[in-house]
Chain A
Amino acid sequence: MVNPLSLRHFYLRNKRKVIPVIGILALAIVGVVVTDSLLASARQTAYATFSSYQKLILVAPRATRDQDLANPLQQSLAQLKEVQAGVDALAGDQGISAYYASLSALPLELRARVPALDQLQRDAGNSRYYAARLRGDLTPLAQLITRVQRLQAEEQAFSRLADRLAQNPRDPAALISYLQNHQTWLRSLLPDISQLGQLQAAVTNASADLQGLQRSLEAANRDAASLNARSFSLPPIPPPPPSPEAQLRQFQASLDRLGQTLSSFEAPQADIDKLVAASRQIAGTDFAQADAYSNLNVNMLAGNAQFDLYGVSGSGMQQLLGLYGDRLKAGRLPRQTASEIALSEEVARSKGVGIGGQVGNSFDELDRLPDAFTVVGILEGPARVGLIPFDYMTQHYLFERRYEGLVVAPLAGHELQVHQALEQLVAGKPFRLFDWPYIKAKIDSLIQNLDTINRFLILLVTIVLSLVVGLLNNLFFKQRMNEFGLLAAIGYARWRLIGRVAWESLGVTLAAWVVGLGLGIGILSWFNQSFIVPHGLLMNVFDWGLLLSHTLPIPLMVFIFGMGTVAWQLLRLDPISIIERRD
């Protein structure tokens, strides 16, 4: 027979009051489910994007990460023009030479009486010497900087021209071939190493002469001041012509920067082969390969990141695929002599490319991979990998950012041992190690801030909802005061009434939780299919551990708070005061 005080009766007969509460709670739970899962997705995607580090260690040069030759070149050239004008004035007819001549013309009798004049003359002579040398240094230095700049610009121009012609089928292939040959010819005629080497030597010379000039000018100034202070019965000795000191200092700093950049361009490259050979000797190493790596910009939901591309030899590509258990899903592996790339299918989706598509700096200015690389292979398997040819990366580019390091794959169980051996190997060298613990820590620290914000929001939502639903519960309770008063008066036990309200509240909050969770999962499933998967991102829609741990506190807190206030009122309920009311 029907129980009029059953929960079913209560819910069915109070739909208008119960459904809004369920709706508010469910929406909040949907919000938590979605934000939580998106955050988890960001973390999972980041882990997956850099999953290749789980089985290898990248040994990369420290300095080349952010180096760029263009700026130091331009800054040095700009400073050089000002210094050139200053040094021209100093070394010119009215400058240090005229001063030296005036000292030489002093009478011998006077020079014999004041030997310090000889020192002043020697220092002025040194200044004249260094000014002349520096003047001589500056002209070829300016020419070299300009030539290197032109080389850089020429190569970029050739690359752009070749790309445009390749894209336009009406252009004769011979022209493209000619331009490519011309580029190769230009490179063979003016080897970049040679240019860079000459520039390096010119910078070193200019730096040394600059310091010599500054030292000698300072000495001459000191000499002149000292002579005048001694109060010989001499006419005052004029000071040496003014030194372009400020420009010289700025120029010195600019040359230092250029010198450092040139050094860092060359220094790591020389050690790579030795490092590869030494790494192969480390016990527990599976393989080691030179790696002319680069990067592609990929979206990770919580922001962009640089996906590592391994620039390895043909055998290296096979070794890497074997290491991860990845395989070619479509196409082939890149040739060593061509600007080709093979990408994991998720990364290809993320970049919106398939076989025949192109990636690189020409298409996405955030890609560190220079120019345009054609996708020739799509990879599938547990790890996300991008492969580019070592030979092409090391031989084709003069001035684009070149990163050359090595990848070392430790055998399972030997990761720490190999890591420590590599640390010793690169100690004192401009290299550093990138491995999974380091990468994971970086990802975690990036996600941590978002995680903190998310937790704070969940807490805020829980507190606000508890207050709101608690208030609604109380309003609802006031409306039902007659009901509870009657039941208490005719003999329903107080704890039975509290239990009834508790079941009612629990039912509402649990229903809201189930509805919210269901809606949230539905929205996430749709979002996963329509956005996450097509963009190569990762999302575990049914991460029950996460879903339960982050959503259950909401209905529980709401229940405890809402129920607590109502139970407190029920315990204080005086049925007589209610049945005696005359409203």
Chain B
Amino acid sequence: MLTAESVGLDYRNGGSVNRAVDGVSLSIDPGSFLGVIGPSGSGKSSLMYLLSGMKRPSRGRLAFEARDYAAMQAAELMRLRRRRFGFVFQQHFLINYLSVFENVLVGAVRRDHATAARAHQLLGQVGLADELHKRPFQLSIGERQRVAVVRALVHLPAIVFADEPTASLDQATGRQVVEVLGHFRQQTGGAVVVVTHDPDMLTGADQILHMRDGRLN
């Protein structure tokens, strides 16, 4: 579904070049759970930005469903991210003036009854069925992150990219988030890519890639 062939990403800092990602090749199949693990600064987040189309690679080839990223305009890449991908970041990035339910709908591509029903169902799965009308500041940190996960899943993306989704959570809450992602994978056939430095979060992953200095070990 998504393939990367020898992709690399360079950051230029004055005269020097920092190879954040260097010669990474991988493939993500539908329904798979890919874990990317590595120490801080190893390039795992940069790899996620490349895979999700948030950054263009300095070299190599990326393709989603056989469509080469290099052939896509910026707007097409935007649409791809909006419609086919879901994102969970280390911080929840919920919009403060919207309710829990409305924050989930920010991720929706179509705002119809089916989407609303799915939002309700997903929020129920993460134990927030009674918190629909609360504002983010009325929730705990774990609850906010669960809302952010539901927001990433509500439009049934082909791939969910989760960048350190449990970094700001305690162990138990982090486990809950991973379970939600696992449920999603099982129920929809969508793939999950989790970038983390915590190996416990990758229990049940189909494939775990170790990164160091921008390269896969």
Which residues of A line the B interface, CB within 8 A? 1-5, 9-10, 13-14, 482-483, 485-487, 489-493, 575-576, 579-582
Task: Return chain B residues, CB-CB under 8 Å to A490.
Answer: 81-82, 85-87, 106-107, 152
Q: How many residues of B contact A (CB 8 A)?
A: 34
Chain B nearest CB from A189 CB (Å) reads 95
11 contacts across the A-B interface (CB closer than 8 A): A2-B105, A3-B111, A9-B97, A485-B93, A486-B89, A486-B106, A489-B81, A490-B81, A579-B90, A579-B91, A580-B45
Task: Return chain B residues, CB-CB under 8 Å to A10.
Answer: 97
A485 to B111, CA, bound (A): 22
Q: Which of B55, B101, B105, B113 counts the most chain A CB atoms within 10 A?
A: B105
List B residues 92-116 near A (Cβ within 8 Å): 93, 95, 97-98, 101-103, 105-107, 111-113, 115-116
Q: Is B82 touching A491 in the complex (CB atoms < 8 A)?
A: yes
Chain B: CB-nearest residue to A14: B97
Task: Return chain A residues, CB-CB under 8 Å to B90.
Answer: 579, 582
A2 to B78, CA, bound (A): 23
Chain B nearest CB from A471 CB (Å) reads 21
Q: Is B113 touching A1 in the complex (CB atoms < 8 A)?
A: yes
B212 adjacent to chain A (CB < 8 Å)? no
Chain A nearest CB from B165 CB (Å) reads 12
Chain B: CB-nearest residue to A491: B82
Given contacts A4-B106, A491-B78, A491-B81, 5 further A-B pairs with CB under 8 A are: A4-B95, A483-B93, A487-B106, A489-B81, A491-B85
A363 to B36, CA, bound (A): 98
A487 to B95, CA, bound (A): 10
Q: Is B95 touching A483 in the complex (CB atoms < 8 A)?
A: yes
A491 to B78, CA, bound (A): 5
A4 to B136, CA, bound (A): 14
B139 adjacent to chain A (CB < 8 Å)? no
Q: Is A9 touching B55 in the complex (CB atoms < 8 A)?
A: no
Task: Return chain A residues, CB-CB under 8 Å to B105.
Answer: 1-4
6 pairs of A and B residues whose beta carbons are closest in the complex: A491-B82, A491-B81, A4-B102, A13-B97, A486-B93, A1-B111
Q: Is B78 touching A493 in the complex (CB atoms < 8 A)?
A: yes
Q: Which of B89, B93, B163 counts the most chain A CB atoms within 10 A?
A: B93
Q: Is A491 touching B80 in the complex (CB atoms < 8 A)?
A: yes
Task: Return chain B residues, CB-CB under 8 Å to A485.
Answer: 93
Q: Is A1 touching B89 in the complex (CB atoms < 8 A)?
A: no
B134 adjacent to chain A (CB < 8 Å)? no
Chain B: CB-nearest residue to A493: B78
Q: Which of A1, A13, A491, A579 counts the most chain B CB atoms within 10 A?
A: A491
A308 to B93, CA, bound (A): 75
Q: Which of A1, A9, A482, A490 counts the most chain B CB atoms within 10 A?
A: A490
Task: Return chain A residues, CB-CB under 8 Å to B93.
Answer: 482-483, 485-486, 579
Chain B nearest CB from A139 CB (Å) reads 100
Q: Is B116 touching A1 in the complex (CB atoms < 8 A)?
A: yes
List B residues 109-168 near A (Cβ within 8 Å): 111-113, 115-116, 152, 163
Task: Return chain B residues, CB-CB under 8 Å to A491.
Answer: 78-83, 85
A489 to B92, CA, bound (A): 13
A4 to B152, CA, bound (A): 15
Q: Is B112 touching A1 in the complex (CB atoms < 8 A)?
A: yes
Q: Is B54 touching A489 in the complex (CB atoms < 8 A)?
A: yes
Q: Is A493 touching B75 in the complex (CB atoms < 8 A)?
A: yes
Task: Return chain B residues, CB-CB under 8 Å to A582.
Answer: 90-91
Task: Return chain B residues, CB-CB under 8 Å to A581.
Answer: 91
B49 adjacent to chain A (CB < 8 Å)? yes
A2 to B85, CA, bound (A): 22
Task: Return chain B residues, CB-CB under 8 Å to A4.
Answer: 95, 98, 102-103, 105-106
Chain B nearest CB from A81 CB (Å) reads 91
Q: Is A2 touching B89 in the complex (CB atoms < 8 A)?
A: no
